[in-house]
Structures are given as structure tokens and as C-alpha cells.
Structure 1
């Protein structure tokens, strides 16, 4: 674990080097991004092995996560020269004759605090954006995904001097030490509870933050939905990474007339995807394990509490602590007084709640803080529009889930209020790590008419302002 003194020295080193990094041109930054892509390609097996050891993640799923990073870097490589150029803006009525534009300048020394559930993408995607913006970076990875952190350590050491990019390994105390420093931007991915701590620490130095949080992302399945497709996609969203994803469907609101049919189809979908050979879901290559005993017990406790308060285990419910395995579990008869409806599940447990009409569904969603994602399954345009109008979320997907985050570089991603602030992916990551500087060039000589607005005010200027206001 890095010491407090070492953290302070590392910060000072990057602070000293920040002005030089700020002056790097597009090609110099692009070369750094190309090195990242090349490293990912060369050491695929190392990353896959590490993720398997941490989460028993299927190699193909790790490759898909690495593809997100590669795509983000390649998008920045292709567009960075344009992003770094001045961006002209239109003039307003009172600024005619001037030349206004925006430039994106580096913020300086940036901090990325990453999670354990997607330790590659959630650390490296913002790193790509910060490097593209001309900053230095200190990454604090999660201590829980230790094998992946070890591979990240090797990668960062091989690609960058510590004055540009460095890893600060450690536990919560390390994060506390880092948050005490006056970084120029903080990018945090994690829970709303820890997000509040990050924001409080940042407020002491007025540090801008990007918070990619989570919360309880609801799913709505109305009476017009294709139940077979909905059940398959929602079951996948809940079971992918064993539900340990910030955009995972947390609970499902199903119109009461199709509730029972949907429950049966979800049970079938789970078997179809994760037990096709009837050897047991625990043997499925695609079904991960819980990260550690603490989270295993937390999730098991949510199930027990729900059952004790009257919920029914419609499917699953089995668990093996020694293997950190919790079977995909479907709960019905769930109420909002249960713990499982009061905290983010972050596990392969699906509470299903019946609703009467779309107004009822919208009101149920409003009982909880605004989510990172909202998923709508419907064939009714009127219902889709209603749910979009009368709910709020960081992102929404219609007739699928988990396809909005990190797969389209033109679509910014982020939360709202309790589920986060700021946006990332594509240019949004670059601008998040940049200071958007407004510049206005005023003409000189005979083209400069600005002096007519200076005291003493002429009759012409008085008439002009009066006319423009009253017209």
C-alpha cells in the first residue's frame, strides 16, 4: 500500500510536470493513446486471466470490456485534432463584429478512483479521456480486484513515467489521503454513499467532479411487451457479471395482467442462457462469482430479509459461500419496506413487482432516488412516451438493457442527482477533463465599434439600446 508521504510526493511530481503536458500537441497525445491500444492487444491473455481470478469472468466477456477501451482510444485518436482546435460559436445581437470561440485546455493533475466490478473499463476509459485532454493522471484502483490491479500496475509502469500516469494502490485510507489533495479534477465510479464522501472532499478545494454512481435502475414491462424477448434480455442484464454492474436492471415492474407469464419466461430464459446442458448454472462459463465474502453475505442477507417479510423465491435462492456463488434468484411478492428495495442489489437477484397502470408504475419509480438507468419494454409508442415524460433517469433504453453505456462514442453516458453527475464516453470524456475556455476577439482599428458603448453615453447609443430593448 502506498504511504501518505509517497502520495504527496507523487502529486507534487505530477503538479510540476503538468504545464509541460498541457503544451503537448495532438500528435504527441495520440502516440500515447496508440501505445495503450497496442498494449491491450499484446497482453489480452494477462487481463483475461486476472479478471477470471477476481470474478471468474469469462475470457470473452473480458475481451468485450477491453474492446470498449480500445474503441474509446481509437475514437479519441481519430478526433483529437478536431477537438483541440478552436470551436467557433455564433455571435449574438450585442456581440456583432466580434470573433467568439471555445478552446479546450487541460485541467492539470487528475484523479481517477475506480471500482472492482469493471476495473479495466472504469479505470482506463477515463484515463484515455484525461490523457487526450493533456492532463496527468493518478489512478486509485479498487483493492478488491487485486489480480486485475496487478496487471494494471504492470501496464501503467510499462507505458508511462510516474510524472504522467501512476497507480496509487491501497485501501480506503489511500483514497482518503488522495482526496485530501487539491487535484484539478476527480473522476469517481462507485456507490452513491462513497460518491457523497468524494464530493465533500472535493468541495474543500472546489474541485470539479465526475461521479459515475449507481442506484436502483428499474425495468418496466408493460402489457404490450414481447415477453419472450423481454425475459431473455432482462435475465441477461441481471445475470451479466452476476448483477455486479452499475447499469444492471435492479428491479422489474411488470403490468399485472402479464406478471405471472413474465415470471415463468424469466425462469426459462435463465436456464436457456446459463444451464443449456443441464449441468447446473454454477458450471456456466458466462456466470461470474461475487467479488468477496462481504458482498456475498450482503446479497444473501437481502434475500433472507425479503423472504422473512413475505417475499417468495420463485426461482433460484441457492448459494455457496465457499465458491462465492449465488444462483440467479427471482423474487415475487416484494414490497418497498424490504431492504432489497431500499439499497442497490448489485447481485443476481431480481425482485418482480406488479403494477396496475402506467401512472402506478411511474409513481412507484418516484418512490426511489433518480436512477442511473431506466429500461422500458413495450410495443406501445404512447406508453414509451409516457414513461419518458413522467420519469427521470441518467439514461434510458427501450426494449433492451445495458446497451447504452460505453458502446456508442457519440452518446454521452452518466447519471442524475443520486446516480451521478457529469458525462463520459467519446468527446464527453475529453470535455469532462478539460476546461472549456470562452474566448472573444474584438477587432481593432476602423472595424472596432465597441467604443460607442463607453461613457459618456452618446444619443445614438442611448437610442440604440432603447430600440433593441423595446422592439
Structure 2
């Protein structure tokens, strides 16, 4: 925590719920004034379509703001719980206490939403915050800096711009909580830095999200939903379907449906479509371009380095082999793609699907298109993953009443709605003991009390 943050927090202003709500309302009004500028900044950073910004960034932030403004007061109240008979007579309560100073390190792929959503919750819970936006989206970071300066006093919320070295310097400081969104590789670095000070963390990471389609799925509707989830933000979404596992008998029909839907959504030349974003920078463009080498391209594959453009691309990866060693897989099947490339694997037996998915670390999301109840229950009960959807993709993120987060290598902790408020609050347990009576059974000397204690403990 910086000295400025410490001084501000020690004044106790953020412990006042009305002070928090006042700033959240002010933030909402300022965001509405900056709405067009935010959309323009995202378009300049990587040609993100205005509609996608409104849907996947601005709307989500507004919904979080409305929820936290409405519920902040009630969520912050002490909660009574049933007291223990051991403590008779007493009252037991759980108090929501702010952690203190929060460090929020945000990614580039949703550079507005993934700054604002955790910030709003941190403020609602009574904390101060320092934000480190991504240096890869400088236009969005610049707008965020103006918004923060207009809404919050210095020391309440501060925004720090810079590259990875700035992030490293921030991580060397002592914080009361760290909220990080990004890759699993960097997440491990953040976790290691936090461990030096025993700082609690939320890590929102990623993984190889499988999407399973069996012969009972409605193919045209499935293709429509899969294509949307893959082309939003040009595939640069942590919960996008990473690869498809398609039952052998429906492979050809599904591939035709996917191609038809891509042409319907973006036209015959996606590069000319105003509804398709670009890859964030040349480094990521080259990484994605390399994944296409020596692969069987069924659709797309076009690219333009000058625009960091890669067309939505479908790859035929053949029949899955659950016995193949992980290091023998082509690179496109090893790491999270994070781009508009969709490998398609075919399977014969449903038993092979689970073995294949379990080759990888636990994914952030799993998607299943099927009417088969037995298969649905098998996926739900036997696979470990952060969250998922049956017969759709990505939409688990859109319900603020559902906690969002990964498990294992795909993340630690969760947030959204009340889950966000709880994430940034310490549950302080208190027992208020009465003084009008004091039962003698717990005090020494203990002679002759053991039998009484054993008779009474069944009521505890």
C-alpha cells in the first residue's frame, strides 16, 4: 500500500457506506458522459466494434454498478447467525470489513470492463484501490485515467500507467488484496509476489475450453452460437470455446453449418466487416499465425500483418486419440489459443471425450451441445472446470448472480454481483457475550464436571 493510500484509508471515509454509494453514483453519471469516448477508444486500440463494446463491456459495467448501488447498504450490514449453546448467553454476528488497499491489474482484451467491474466492487466493499491497466490498450487507459481523476480523490482510487516493469514494481509493494486478470503464466508470478506478504488474491486466468457437440444437438443453432462465441473480440476472450469435440456422424453437417454461419455473420470477406475486431498487436498476430502452419485449413486462414488481421479459421484436426502424449500434440492443441482459430476434433466414443479433456489442466469453461441427459450429467459431475453452459457458449458470464471464476490452473476465487462484494470483504466474526449470568462449567477446577459436560454436548 502506498503512503497516499494508507493515509486516505486511515481517515475512515470509505467505511461510511453512504460515502461509497455517493462515489458509485458519481461514477455511473461520469461513465454515461464518457460512453462514446470509451467506445471510440476501444475501436482505436484494436478496432473493437461499437456494438461489442456496448454489449460486452459497457452494459456489464452498468449492471454491476446498478446492483452494487442498490444493494451495497444491505450487504454491508452485520449478519446475525445462530449462536452456539457453548457461548450461552450470547449473540453472534458476521461483520463485513474492507480489506484495505486493493491492487487491480487488468488485461488488454476487455480493457474497460475488466478494470471497472472489480473496481466497482472494491469501492462498494469500502476499500481504496490502485489500478494498473494494460499498456497494450493506451487509448482506453487514457480515458480510464480521466474518469478516475474526475470521480475519485487521490488516494481513494489511483490509476498507474506503464509496462510490465511498472506492474512488477507495484507487486513488490505490500497490499491488502490483489485482483489479477490475465494469463496463467503471469498469474503464477502475481501469486508468488503476493505470497511474500501473505496477501490474499483473486486470479482470473484461462485455459483450453472444450466445446462438445453430439448427434442430438440442433446443428444450425449450435453453429450460430459457437460462431458468435468465437468471433466476439476476434476470439480474444478467456471463456471463448477453444476447440470443438464433434461426434463423427455429424462432423460434415456441423462444418457446413459453421461455414454458413460465418459467412452470414461477417460476409464473404471478414476483413471488410465492421463487426470484426483485430488482434491486439503484432506479437500476438505472429503467435497466432504460427499456429496455422502445417494445419489443414477448412475455412479462413487469411491474414494481413499490417492490420493485425486474422480471418476466423476452422482447422480439421482429425480423429482424437486419447492415448497420444501431450507433448506430441500440434501446438494449436497445446496452449490456449486466444484468437479466432477453431480446431475441430472428431470422436467416436463418448468415453474418449473425458479422457481427452483431462489431458489438460482444469479449464475455465466447458460447453456441451446435446439433448442427452446422461451425457449432461456425466460432464457436470465428472469434469472439473470453472463454469459452463449447456447448449450455448459464454453466456454464463452474463448472469451477475452466478459467481465467475476458474479452478486450479484456470483461476483462484470468483466475483460478479454479491460475490464481488464478498470477494473484497473480510468476514469478521464476533460474539457478543452477555454478563447477566456466567455458567461455571467451563472453568477450572474440572473435577466432577466431565460427566455433566458429556451429557450436555449432544445439544451443542
Give the TM-score normalised by structure 1. Answer: 0.93
Residue 305 of structure 2 is aligned with which of 321, 326, 335?
321
Q: Distance in 1 between matches of 2:427 and 2:115?
A: 23
Q: Secondary structure at the match of 1:161?
A: coil
The answer as to 2:409 corresponding to 1:418 is: yes
Q: Distance in 1 between matches of 2:194 and 2:435?
A: 42
Q: Secondary structure at the match of 2:15?
A: coil
Match of 2:323 in 1: none
The answer (yes or no) to whether the contact 2:15–2:126 under 8 Å persists in 1 is: yes
The answer as to 2:287 corresponding to 1:298 is: yes
The answer (yes or no) to whether the contact 2:17–2:76 under 8 Å persists in 1 is: yes
- Judging changes above 3 Å, is the alpha-carbon distance between structure 1 residues 463 and 15 closer, same or farther for their aligned structure 2 residues? same
Match of 2:250 in 1: 258
Q: Distance in 1 between matches of 2:415 and 2:372?
A: 31
The answer (yes or no) to whether the contact 1:312–1:333 under 8 Å persists in 2 is: yes
- Judging changes above 3 Å, is the alpha-carbon distance between structure 1 residues 99 and 68 closer, same or farther for their aligned structure 2 residues? same
Match of 1:444 in 2: 435
Give the TM-score normalised by structure 2. Answer: 0.95
Residue 453 of structure 2 is aligned with which of 453, 459, 464?
464
How many residues are aligned here? 451
Query: Could you list the per-position Cα deviations for residues 262-319 of structure 1 after superposition, in whole angstroms to 9, with x for gaps in the alignment?
Result: 11111111111111xx4x2111121100000000000001111xx2xxx411110110
The answer as to 2:144 corresponding to 1:152 is: yes
Q: Secondary structure at the match of 2:406?
A: coil
The answer (yes or no) to whether the contact 1:22–1:135 under 8 Å persists in 2 is: no
- Judging changes above 3 Å, is the alpha-carbon distance between structure 1 residues 21 and 400 closer, same or farther for their aligned structure 2 residues? farther
The answer (yes or no) to whether the contact 1:22–1:108 under 8 Å persists in 2 is: no
Q: Distance in 2 between matches of 1:203 and 1:239?
A: 37
What stretches of structure 1 of length at least 5 have no aligned partner?
1-7
The answer (yes or no) to whether the contact 1:21–1:135 under 8 Å persists in 2 is: no
Q: Secondary structure at the match of 1:200?
A: helix
Residue 355 of structure 2 is aligned with which of 360, 363, 370?
363
Name the Cα RMSD after superposition: 1.7
Residue 200 of structure 1 is aligned with which of 187, 192, 196?
192
The answer (yes or no) to whether the contact 2:89–2:434 under 8 Å persists in 1 is: yes
Q: Distance in 2 between matches of 1:48 and 1:168?
A: 21
Query: Could you list the per-position Cα deviations for residues 73-108 of structure 1 after superposition, in whole angstroms to 9, with x for gaps in the alignment?
Result: 110011111111111122345445432221110111
The answer (yes or no) to whether the contact 1:329–1:349 under 8 Å persists in 2 is: yes
1:217-366 to 2 correspondence within 5 Å? 217-275=209-267, 278=268, 280-304=269-293, 307=294, 311-333=295-317, 337-366=329-358
What stretches of structure 2 of length at least 5 have no aligned partner?
321-325
Query: Could you list the per-position Cα deviations for residues 417-450 of structure 1 after superposition, in whole angstroms to 9, with x for gaps in the alignment?
Result: 100011110111111111111111222112x43x
The answer (yes or no) to whether the contact 1:452–1:461 under 8 Å persists in 2 is: no
Query: Could you list the per-position Cα deviations for residues 321-366 of structure 1 after superposition, in whole angstroms to 9, with x for gaps in the alignment?
Result: 1111100000012566111111110000000111222221111110
Query: Could you list the per-position Cα deviations for residues 13-57 of structure 1 after superposition, in whole angstroms to 9, with x for gaps in the alignment?
Result: 101211224653221111110111111111111001100001211
The answer as to 2:68 corresponding to 1:58 is: no
Match of 1:3 in 2: none
Shift of 1:469: 6.2
The answer (yes or no) to whether the contact 2:15–2:98 under 8 Å persists in 1 is: no
Match of 1:453 in 2: 442
Q: Distance in 2 between matches of 1:398 and 1:237?
A: 14
Residue 392 of structure 1 is aligned with which of 384, 389, 410?
384
The answer (yes or no) to whether the contact 2:14–2:20 under 8 Å persists in 1 is: no
